[in-house]
Every structure is written in structure tokens, then in C-alpha cells.
Chain A
């Protein structure tokens, strides 16, 4: 699974420009699926036919990642930029970013600032792609870039950019590959534009009209120095969401995940996330309403170029999803 994760996290795919990551995922799933289609906004929908006695279930992981977008190129060829999704100026300083064609830029920080003890604003940062002026600058207003950071596996920890939510994509792909027989019609949705507006999952769910939906995404942890208190730790198993800022998990979905974890002896944690939300928030509001929940992979340093997850949590997420799909 490590090679799958490496390939997913190192592929380019900021919100709104998911073509490359979609092609990567498509190649991984095509031979295991009964149907593969791309929705109008670009989400990849992969259907696995059930034996007929079960429900119509959506499992959603978003394939887009946070990034930056060029807003202006100045006379000397430096590119000003804004964020795509939740990015902090702090994690941008000194970072390298890559554009769709692989071109790399370095994020620089203006030296003359009124108060250097303050966190700089995006207006004080720029991307240097090595251009000498506006005319030879190879990047243009509207071009999107993502962080550059290689995948590292160290002990049981996996570190990379875009673990949010390529690790969810990896869990879905692995679940599909290992899924032999299920009563349920399962729709694996690799959604677009989660980081900005939760757009892909909402619209794909509208097409699918599921009986139940589970988002598979990362969540924060409370196990790092001086962090906000949160009862989720790396390595203690996948987290079953109770609620976050955008939704309250449907009790039946929450209980289903807990029940199956208990039965199979899979470690799990309960998650209450005080900041942030996932595709499930949008999916539960589609049409007449969809009972929705979330299986979360604990992750440190979310939205930074070095997001860290535990390999055991990833494996147990796959096992738990297989347990959920096993029986009606």
C-alpha cells in the first residue's frame, strides 16, 4: 500500500485542477470496478455492484488538495498569490511549490515589514520561479500550484504533503481491491473541490441518491505539544466521527461503524472535531437528506506540507470499511 500512497500524495491536484490525480486514481481502480464515470464537476465515481440485498452506499474521499494560485506577476517576474483552501502563510515561507507542468517556484517573504514578529500576510509573500521579468515569467495569473515534499515512511509513520485526503483515497482504493462480495451497491466517490466548497461530493451524491454515505477523510489529533485538547491520537485506530463544525454524524452511521469495529476487534476512537468539516457535511443535505457519517484517519500537521499519519490507522481503516460492507 505504501507505493500506492506515494503515487497518490506526489501527484498534482489542487482544488479545481484534479485532472492528473483523477487519471492516477482511475488507473488504480478501473480493473476492480463494475463502472467508472466522471461527473460534470470532475469527481470520479467508481461503482462496485452488490448482490442485491443491500443498500446503496457512498464512500467518499476527496482527491483535491490545498494549494496556492497566482494573482499577479510584477515587473520583475515575481508572482503574488492567494490560497486555495485553508493554507497558512506560516507554512508557505521557504516552501517550494509546483505548477501543473512540474515547474517549481520558491516562496519568498518581503524583508521590509512593519512588525517582523507578526505572522506575515499573503500580500507579503511571493513565488519566485526564477524569471527575470514579467515578460519571461512562465507562470500566469490563475495558475495553481501545490506544495512540493517527497513521501517518507519512517517506522509506522507516513509523512507527505496532501495526506489530506489522498490517504482517504488510498483507503478507498485498497477497500475496493480487497472487496470480494458485498450485498451493497457501493459507490466509491473521489470528489473534487472539497477544500474550497465541498462541491464534488454534494453533486455526485445528488446523482447517486444513496441510502447512506460515509466520508473518509483525515482529522486532527490532540497528541502534540501544547495543542488544542482533542481526544484523538495517532496510532490508536481510525476515528469514528461524532460531530464537527459542519455536521453531526447520523447516529445510525456512527453506531454501525462502532459496532463493526467492536465485532472485528479493530481499534477505533470517537472524534469530536471543533474546527473544520468534511464532504459528509454536504452529502447529508442532498435531496431529501442522506444519513451520513465519517471515518477519519488521525493526522498531524493538516494543511502543512508535511502531514503525518500512522500506517496502522490506515490499515485498520480499510479493515473497518470492509467490515461495514461485508454484511447488510
Chain B
């Protein structure tokens, strides 16, 4: 399962080399051309059958959130800062892998026996935490993990029956969906896949990838928040596990193209594929910069719901994963150039009657 390999790969923003190698290996033989661009994005091209003359971009980001070494204590502990959105509440006591040698490390924590009453109720700040790699002193710590060394969670991928757990499902789940789509039959249009870098620190790779590709429309593939854990009030979950792929209408980074949303929902309804609309106004994805590229790119985001993203371990449903691949494949087979045309009053009238 490609998701296992991708999930276990080391790829904090700016250091996506391991993930890139897996992706290159996974798509080779299934695409007509593949290259790595100046920022490190993998751009793969799969020619269409020629029946729809258009360029469709599918993007998934390879990077994950993590930590970076920014200092060394005299007694050999590492000081770290967050790369991307890390929740400090989840860090004490977690196991890390540090640097390209994957040195095991533990985030140091005072034993419960020694905690004072007020410490029980407080979340330690990231700058007060240390990473213990067993170094004897500052020099040894510096040698093993120099300034700028990346660290990520040391979480193995596990199959728990209908669900799987692992780290970095945001967005290795999207990467895995994209690999599956590239491995399948050709579409009618030219498919441009972008496995992007540095999404978690500012949607950086996708911006230049979209500039190079110049797509007619784009789909960002994601692993998104599922917060269907118990709550005391009947209020909105962002998405729910097992309820199918999540389609974004609006998040903090962009507003999805309604025609693409409709393509996805009508395809799902026609084929009986479960789907959900992600709670609007939450999060942001590569689509936030892709849609602004050049003369504008109608875009939408489709995601596999994942519980506990940006934490040491996330959990997703394989049914949701497979339904995301299926919904994307079926929707893309129905996508035509005409669906994106707006010129002429006829198109306008049609749009008007549909809204």
C-alpha cells in the first residue's frame, strides 16, 4: 500500500527529498513525463486521449509539519521550533526521528511524581520543551543534530481494520490518491500532477507549479480535519470519518468554483458514492494560490477526512480513501472543456437557472 510508504517517509516542509523519491518511483512508467522543478515539486504529465483539449492540474503536497533544531543545551538536549502548525499540547513524551540518519529522540518531560500542582494544569510551551537524543553534552548534540536539523514523529503506519493510522496523512493521503489516479487509465484531457513542497509553511510550491502548468482548472487533493469526536452540543463537525470524500466550498484560502463542486456532487449522487461538504470557513490548501495563478484557475479541493491531523498519529477510513479515488476518477471522466466555458449568453442563462 503506497500510503504506508508515504506516511512513514520523512518530509517536513523544505526537506521533502524522501517523499519525492517515493513519488518518483511510484509514478514512473505510468506517466509520459516527469520532472522536479526549481523548488522541488514533482511535476508529472499524463497525456490525454485528445478528446478534450485542456490542461487539468491535480495537486497534493508532499511536506508535513514537524520540528527544527534551533539550539543545544550544555547537557546535550536539543531546543526546537515548529515547522508549520504544531500543537504543543501533543508533544511531551512523544517519540521523534531526528535528521536524515533518523536518530531516535524523545521530547523530555518531567515525571508525574515530581510535578507541582499548578504544573498539572498547564500546557508547557514549545520553547520550554527539549528533545533528548541521548547526547552526553553540547558538542555531541551539535555533532549528531546540527542547527537546522529537521525532526518528525516516529510513527509507524498501522492497519486497524477498516481504518489505518499513521503520521503525515495531511497530505500523504492526498499524495496517495494522486498516485492511484496516475496509475489508472488516461483521461480525455492532459493531466498535470503536482506533488508540491512547503504547503504547510505558506503554499509555496503550488504557486510556482501552477505558474508552470498554466492549467484550465485545478483540484487540490488533501487529508483534512475530521473532528467527529464526542462534543457536548449539536454543532458542526468539520468532516466525519466514514462519510466519504470531503468537498470544499469555501475555506480561509479560497472559494471553490461552484461548477467543479457541482461536477463532484452530481457525479457522487449519480453513482451512489458517499460525499460530504467540508464545514465552510475552516483551513486552507494549495488551491488558495493555484486559483490566483496567471489569468485565474477555477479550483476545488477534495479531501480524505482524517482524525487528529498535525499530531503524532492520524486515523483515516480506507473506505473514504477508496471513495475519494473513485469520486475523483469518475468526476474527471465527466469533465469537459464545455463545463468551464462561460462566454455567451447561453452559458450565462444556464448558470442562472442552476443557481
CB neighbours (8 Å) of B349 from chain A are: 23
> Is B22 located at the chain interface by the 8 A CB criterion?
no
> Given the known A-B contacts A203-B294, A207-B295, are A23 and B352 also in contact in the complex, defined by CB atoms under 8 Å?
yes
> Which residue of chain A has its CB nearest to the CB of B293?
A203
> Given the known A-B contacts A42-B342, A200-B296, are A17 and B234 also in contact in the complex, defined by CB atoms under 8 Å?
no
Question: Interface residues of B, CB < 8 Å — how many?
Answer: 36
Q: Which of A1-9, A72-80, A313-321 contacts B (4 or more CB under 8 A)?
A: A72-80
Whole-angstrom distance between the Cβ of B69 and the nearest chain A Cβ: 35
CB neighbours (8 Å) of B277 from chain A are: 140-142
CB neighbours (8 Å) of B49 from chain A are: none
A82/B280 in contact, CB under 8 A = yes
> Is B292 located at the chain interface by the 8 A CB criterion?
yes
> Which residue of chain A has its CB nearest to the CB of B340?
A40
Is the interface on chain A under 10, 10 to 19, 20 to 34, or 35 or more residues? 35 or more
CB neighbours (8 Å) of B295 from chain A are: 39-40, 203-204, 206-207
CB neighbours (8 Å) of B235 from chain A are: 72, 74, 80, 123
> Which residue of chain A has its CB nearest to the CB of B299?
A41
* Majority-rule SS of A interface residues: mixed
Q: Which of A153-161, A191-199, A227-235 contacts B (4 or more CB under 8 A)?
A: A191-199
Whole-angstrom distance between the Cβ of A286 and the nearest chain B Cβ: 10
Q: Give the residues from 256 to 309 in chain B that come closer than 8 angstroms, CB to CB, to chain A.
A: 256-258, 261, 277, 279-281, 288, 291-298
> Given the known A-B contacts A38-B343, A40-B296, are A20 and B352 also in contact in the complex, defined by CB atoms under 8 Å?
yes
A69/B348 in contact, CB under 8 A = no
Cα(A75)–Cα(B255), bound, Å: 27
Contact of B291 among A100, A199, A204 (CB under 8 A): A199
Scoring A41, A80, A206 by chain B CB atoms within 10 A of each residue's CB, the highest score goes to: A41
Cα(A15)–Cα(B342), bound, Å: 17
> Is A97 located at the chain interface by the 8 A CB criterion?
no
Cα(A84)–Cα(B261), bound, Å: 18
Cα(A208)–Cα(B279), bound, Å: 35
Contact of B352 among A19, A72, A204 (CB under 8 A): A19
Q: List 11 A-B contacts (CB under 8 A).
A: A15-B255, A16-B255, A19-B348, A37-B343, A72-B235, A72-B236, A72-B279, A83-B281, A101-B355, A199-B296, A204-B295
Which residues of B are at the interface with A, using a C-beta cutoff of 8 A? 216, 234-237, 249-250, 253-258, 261, 277, 279-281, 288, 291-298, 340, 342-343, 345, 348-349, 351-352, 355
Other than A41-B298, A69-B280, A141-B280, give 19 A-B pairs with Cβ distance below 8 A.
A15-B255, A16-B249, A17-B258, A19-B352, A22-B348, A40-B340, A71-B279, A72-B235, A140-B277, A141-B236, A141-B277, A141-B279, A193-B255, A197-B253, A199-B292, A203-B294, A203-B295, A207-B295, A207-B296
